[in-house]
Chains A and B, each alone.
Chain A
Amino acid sequence: MNIEQKKDYLLLLCENQLDTNSVVEFKKTLLEKLDFAKPIHFEASTVTKIDTVGIQFLLFICSQAEKKKITWHWENVSPTLTNIATLLGAHRLLKLPETKLSSESS
């Protein structure tokens, strides 16, 4: 996971893995850089592995942004992410489309 400071927004790049290991590894640096001063854009087109810890992390960032009245939206989302978010019932809160569930998981 990476953060790119853009002029008007913050781009949050989700790499192919958004699971427990990556969340634990990047939590500190990510949260330090996340000052919630600008809108957040998520780029998650390459995510192929995600688990509940990863979804919870996204939910946390989104809820913090909302608490601080910062807007956020998705630029690109991988099917894996939408599937898992739907299976966990997190799609509405993450503002992701509800998908017809397949048996695919992490």
Chain B
Amino acid sequence: MPVDYNQLLDTYIEETLENLADIDDALLSMDIDAPDPEQINKIFRSVHTIKGNSAIFKFQSMSTLMHGIETFLDKIRSSMLSLKKTHVDYLLKVSDSTRKILDDLKKKKPLDETLVSQLSDALQDILKRESSIREVSQKETNKSTPAQGFKITIHPQKDIFKRNLDPLGAFAMLHEEASFKATVMIDPLSELDMKDYDPLACYLSWEIELQGEISKEHILEILTWVFEEHDIVLSPIPTIDIKTPIEIQKKSVPAVPSPPLPTTASPTTLRISTDKIDSVMNAVGELFIIESMFKQTIKKFDPKTSSQLDETLDLLEKNTRYLQDSIMRIRMVPISFAINRFPRMVFEIASKTEKLVDFVIQGEQTEIDKTMIEKLTDPLLHLIRNAIDHGIEAPKVREKEGKNKTGSLQFISKQEGDNILIEIKDDGAGIDPEKIRSIAISKGLLAEDIKLSETKLYGFIFKPGFSTSEKVTEYSGRGVGLDVVEKNIRALGGAIQIESKIGVGTTFRIKLPLTLAIMDCQLLRVKKQTYIIPLLSILEMAQITAKNTIDENGKKYYKYHDQKINLIYLSSIFNREAPPMDIINLFVVVVQTTGGASALVCDELLVQQPIVIKNLAWKVPGTVGGTIMGDGSIGLILDVQEIVEIGSKTYDEQQFQSEGIFSRRLFQNEGSYPIESIQPIQPIQNKREATETTEKDETEATTENEYLCFSLSRSEYAINMIWVQEVIFSKNPTILPFSPPYLLGIINLRGNIIPLVDLRIFFGIEPCPTKKGITIIANIEKEGIIRVVGLVVDAIIDTQIIKKLDIGPIPKSGHLILRHYIQGLVYINQRIITLLQIQNILKDPSELTEAT
């Protein structure tokens, strides 16, 4: 089976990043004056692993660099060098540069040899400098002696004999170089049974004492003829320093065995591609849908006979839940993967902004879905940056205000039920709500006479371009970022909130679901459509009564604890209806958004159930996707933040917005332009001019493809069969709010949500009077992803084999944009067929205009 180099390379990159994080972690917590031996060993182990893995990928220069760093670290742990700040800075630089190199590799760029070479040169400089200092120091004192030798431990690979390698030669060479004494260890051998003994497997290991003036490099040079370098551990026999023997003993770091390379390690863990886990997770998602379908079907049965089925179904539900939990756990990784760079970043920003920050992380082992981790890092990083740059004051200012001159910054994460809670808490200056208010007024975001709660005012911080900072720094202050933070958190199905007090500090509180794949949701009904809200966003649900509503100047509000909150009518948003006059007995779902709580009004509250989120081919405002319900219909999952934003506008504004969002310029700006108006001037075969063609042109011209021919009104059209998946009778779709007229809605096709495009309306032909039709299920590529789309046509005619040679050009009189949807025209047996360029259907007309 061929080795998938790319997949292995991904693993290499991932592992190296993990090791770099460990290196950073150890370096940043290192006390330079009294380094913790275990921390140095930790760095050594990580460097060693990077070295080994780099060698496997033939990144020789990287492997050599890491080898040099190992030697350097070895000198430190054997007290031949004392650790300095410049050393730590150098190692941090190596870590940064290696990340850059990995980033390049990820983008399929070659390894940056120049950068590696610069790092190697810098290391040589350090070693030369240290060596000259040591020489001077030794000449001056003349009291210390060179290392007297090494204690060597070797745990060979089991297959060395099979590779015709024998330690004898290497041992004999060492014996010639210095006083050599070996002791063999036979632990695995003595535990073996007769039948298990393989004479060609090496069960031996050695401890060797080598006395004399021999360098570590030379020893390794000899031993690595037979053994892998990571199987050898060398520790110097301590030099006797007459002056300060105790100090040296204290500083010496016991060497630890290096971890074996992954290729030879016994598999206690297994790396699995997330794609594979995702596909299992999707299958579990489908199980939920099937289970839901069963429940729907059982309702139709006689209750007497269905009770047993109910029990079985409960069992299925229990098992499906268990399966979901188990698979979800596989996808979970500690949040430390997202935040392991933070201490380093805090250190750097604090240094550059000349602030003193005590950064504390709590709950770094809290686990979260791996796919979420990747999207979470940047928003969290941004909040940390902001906290240091804008939150925590300069030491002098803090002292003046009676605070400790070192600011406190806390990152706290914990799991609460099915949610992850993250807090980023500083004890800095806090956010002044009055300042936000005046900026919001000056930016025209808030009318002067409107009074808002502090929570709602803080919500303005998440508006694009909104910044309360008076100065722009390298890190923040441009008002770019917090809107992206909020958007990213929302995309993860989460919510963010601010709590702040002037002079005391600010806390950003983020609530996230454990996973994005399956979410527990509340189902609700508005008119005939089912909508879904993740439970994570819900604060309260209730039936509307006279008691829990307030009527003020003809406008109704919901009483939520002591607050008076806006009512947002989902029927106004999705069905374009005026708010109902009588709302008693309708239902509210109080949801949490950045601007505080809002009450969504619906007709009925349905059940709560786990939901499998499926993407819609179109972004529908106010929704994050759809799901297939038990009865096969499609439910739309609400984006509560966006719904509240749309709902906060007046009814008239909503109408304006819904018109504007999805109208295609093709039709709106330039009017309907029926495709039927494009007709060939004369039969194509006659029009084609005889020209000299090259051999290649001839081959291309004779290439033939099969096309599916169909009718729209009185004309014939065709699309290349390679894009056609199947043909079905048109189904009644679920209507999508705010969608353009040609998007009829979405249908459930064997568990997949598919949008239906009415090609008549799309091309400006009058709508079909019978509303019946045929749907061609076609594959259309959009943004690199193949999407399945249903194309509604009048009728299928036949299929035709068409040669490229026979495809005539589009008449120049055609509409500029419309021409992008047409490949050409064909004249067959008195039929004129317009070949459609179906791949452009999902493209935005602006893309096509730019291309023109």
Establish whether residues A103 and B176, one from each chain, have CB atoms under 8 Å apart when the complex forms.
Answer: yes
Residues of B within 8 A of A92 (CB): 183
Give bound CA distance, A1 to B184, whole Å.
Answer: 24
- Residue in B183, B197, B202, B203 whose beta carbon sits within 8 Å of that of A31 in the complex: B197
Interface size on B, residues (CB 8 A): 28
- Residue in B171, B186, B189, B199 whose beta carbon sits within 8 Å of that of A24 in the complex: B199
Establish whether residues A93 and B184, one from each chain, have CB atoms under 8 Å apart when the complex forms.
Answer: yes
Establish whether residues B171 and A57, one from each chain, have CB atoms under 8 Å apart when the complex forms.
Answer: no
- Residue in B171, B189, B197, B204 whose beta carbon sits within 8 Å of that of A87 in the complex: B171
Residues of A within 8 A of B190 (CB): 63, 66-67
The A contact surface, by secondary structure, is helix
Are A31 and B186 CB-contacts (below 8 A) given A53-B199, A57-B199? no
Establish whether residues A51 and B172, one from each chain, have CB atoms under 8 Å apart when the complex forms.
Answer: no
Establish whether residues A106 and B168, one from each chain, have CB atoms under 8 Å apart when the complex forms.
Answer: yes
Give bound CA distance, A71 to B821, whole Å.
Answer: 93
Minimum Cβ distance to chain B for residue A94 (Å): 9
Give bound CA distance, A56 to B175, whole Å.
Answer: 20
Establish whether residues B161 and A20, one from each chain, have CB atoms under 8 Å apart when the complex forms.
Answer: yes
- Residue in B183, B202, B207 whose beta carbon sits within 8 Å of that of A56 in the complex: B202
Flag A2-43 by CB within 8 Å of B: 1 or 0 each: 000000000000000000100110010001001000000000
Are A93 and B168 CB-contacts (below 8 A) given A23-B199, A60-B197, A101-B175? no
- Please tell me if A84 contacts chain B, counting CB pairs below 8 Å: yes
Q: Which of B156-178 contact A (CB under 8 A)?
A: 161, 166-169, 171-172, 175-176
- Please tell me if B180 contacts chain A, counting CB pairs below 8 Å: yes
- Residue in B168, B176, B186, B189 whose beta carbon sits within 8 Å of that of A51 in the complex: B168
Are A84 and B175 CB-contacts (below 8 A) given A27-B199, A60-B197? no
- Residue in A34, A64, A66, A103 whose beta carbon sits within 8 Å of that of B172 in the complex: A103
Residue in B168, B184, B203 with the greatest tally of chain A CB atoms within 10 Å: B184
Residue in B182, B192, B206 with the greatest tally of chain A CB atoms within 10 Å: B182
Nearest chain-B residue to A56 (Cβ)? Answer: B204
Give bound CA distance, A64 to B181, whole Å.
Answer: 26
Nearest chain-A residue to B204 (Cβ)? Answer: A56
Establish whether residues A89 and B183, one from each chain, have CB atoms under 8 Å apart when the complex forms.
Answer: yes
Flag A87-103 by CB within 8 Å of B: 1 or 0 each: 11110110000000101
Residues of A within 8 A of B316 (CB): none
Flag B51-95 by CB within 8 Å of A: 1 or 0 each: 000000000000000000000000000000000000000000000
Q: How large is the interface on A (under 10, 10 to 19, 20 to 34, 35 or more residues)?
A: 20 to 34
Residues of A within 8 A of B361 (CB): none
- Please tell me if B690 contacts chain A, counting CB pairs below 8 Å: no
Residues of A within 8 A of B200 (CB): 20, 24, 53
Flag B695-726 by CB within 8 Å of A: 1 or 0 each: 00000000000000000000000000000000
Residues of A within 8 A of B207 (CB): 89
Minimum Cβ distance to chain B for residue A102 (Å): 9
The B contact surface, by secondary structure, is mixed
Are A63 and B189 CB-contacts (below 8 A) given A87-B168, A93-B184? yes
- Please tell me if B261 contacts chain A, counting CB pairs below 8 Å: no
- Please tell me if A45 contacts chain B, counting CB pairs below 8 Å: no
Flag A69-93 by CB within 8 Å of B: 1 or 0 each: 0000000000000001001111011
Establish whether residues B184 and A90, one from each chain, have CB atoms under 8 Å apart when the complex forms.
Answer: yes
- Residue in B172, B181, B184, B192 whose beta carbon sits within 8 Å of that of A60 in the complex: B192
Residues of B within 8 A of A31 (CB): 194, 197
Residues of B within 8 A of A88 (CB): 167-168, 171, 182, 184, 204, 206
- Please tell me if B208 contacts chain A, counting CB pairs below 8 Å: yes
Residues of B within 8 A of A23 (CB): 199
Establish whether residues A52 and B199, one from each chain, have CB atoms under 8 Å apart when the complex forms.
Answer: no
Give bound CA distance, A92 to B169, whole Å.
Answer: 21
Establish whether residues A51 and B171, one from each chain, have CB atoms under 8 Å apart when the complex forms.
Answer: no
Nearest chain-B residue to A22 (Cβ)? Answer: B199
Q: Which of B176-224 contact A (CB under 8 A)?
A: 176, 180-184, 186, 189-190, 192, 194, 197, 199-200, 202-204, 206-208
Minimum Cβ distance to chain A for residue B245 (Å): 30
- Please tell me if A59 contacts chain B, counting CB pairs below 8 Å: yes
Residues of B within 8 A of A57 (CB): 199
Establish whether residues A52 and B167, one from each chain, have CB atoms under 8 Å apart when the complex forms.
Answer: yes
Give bound CA distance, A79 to B699, whole Å.
Answer: 82
Give bound CA distance, A59 to B169, whole Å.
Answer: 20
Flag B318-353 by CB within 8 Å of A: 1 or 0 each: 000000000000000000000000000000000000
Minimum Cβ distance to chain A for residue B150 (Å): 15
Residues of A within 8 A of B202 (CB): 52, 56
Residues of B within 8 A of A90 (CB): 184
Establish whether residues B175 and A89, one from each chain, have CB atoms under 8 Å apart when the complex forms.
Answer: no
Minimum Cβ distance to chain A for residue B160 (Å): 9
Establish whether residues A101 and B184, one from each chain, have CB atoms under 8 Å apart when the complex forms.
Answer: no
Question: Residues of B at under 8 Å CB distance from A?
Answer: 161, 166-169, 171-172, 175-176, 180-184, 186, 189-190, 192, 194, 197, 199-200, 202-204, 206-208
The 4 closest A-B pairs by CB, nearest first: A89-B182, A63-B190, A89-B183, A89-B184
